[in-house]
Amino acid sequence: MASDFKSIISQAMALRAQRKIQEAYELVAKEAVQHESIKRCLWEHQPVFWSDIYAGICLLTRRNGADAAFVEQLWGKPDFWYSFHRHAGKFPNNRQALAKILEREFVSSIGTCRALHWVVRDKKSQPWGILSLVDISLLHRRAEVLLGVLPDAPIGLSAAAMLTLFQFYFRGLKFNKLYSLVYQDNPHSLKGTLHLGFKIEGHLRKHVLDPKSGTHMNLVQTGLLAEDAFNPNNERLMRRLLKSI
């Protein structure tokens, strides 16, 4: 049975590599009728996980092999990746090798990789940054969120990306909590996080080693519950930036 399960998942991944997202889901759904282990993971293969998410000034597209040049550009800017994730792993210098990594990431299910990555684009589809959910827990319905947008991005795009995520994550997927770990030396990021309704849950003293200074840094843990995501302030922002609530 284990080999059958792996075979079905591999076939689904191959179909997604051909951008046959619906066909991949139907394949898994067909097998789920007969196999309980496949039935339990059927939700992870729903096409919604690979669909573009468009709202107002923001478009989120799942990161894939075709985005290798853009990712290469971002990772070539030390200030960007330092702000996005100071301990982000290095990608290979070879673009073809990078494309393979991104494509493998794209075709994998949320249950396999425990992460979702999108390219943040404006309404004309111009790419400006990366939005990621990492350390996703399907059991506890929570994940850590990371957002990195180029400094010359259109005004409001960062907030729009997060608000678009709230709609998808809380209303669509019915997850319970988002959390963000903010470096204490980044007050701008903390202010923006709190403005979107996140609450400070604790301070982690000298929790991580900063790669630039070589010193241990404090982190501020913030969290946002589903019940707080659509507060009056966020609803006003959604009406302005997303044209909906």
**What residue type is assigned to position 165 of the chain?**
L
Where would I find the H helices in the chain? 2-17, 21-32, 36-40, 68-75, 78-84, 95-107, 110-113, 157-166, 187-195, 226-229, 232-241
Q: Based on the domain organization, do 7 and 46 belong to the same domain?
A: yes
pLDDT at 16 over 80: yes
CB 121 within 8 A of CB 127: yes
* 151 and 183 both lie in a single domain: yes
Range of the domain at 81: 52-241
| Distance of alpha carbon 164 from alpha carbon 148, whole angstroms | 15
Confidence of residue 245 (pLDDT cuts 50, 70, 90): very low
CATH number for the domain spanning 128: value is 3.40.630.30
Q: Structurally, how many domains does the chain consist of?
A: 2
Same domain, 33 and 77: no
pLDDT digit string (tens) for 39-85?
A: 889 999 999 999 999 999 999 999 999 999 999 999 988 888 788 88
Percent residues over pLDDT 70 in the chain = 98
Task: Identify the residue with better confidence: 91 or 176.
Answer: 176
Cβ-based neighbours of 56, under 8 Å, separated by 6 or more: 123, 160, 164, 241, 242, 243, 244
Mean pLDDT of 12-33: 96
Average confidence score pLDDT of the chain: 93
Query: Where a domain ends, among 50, 65, 87?
Result: 50
Domain's final residue, options 34, 50, 66: 50
Distance (Å, whole) CA 174 – CA 217:
33
What pLDDT does residue 3 have?
Answer: 56
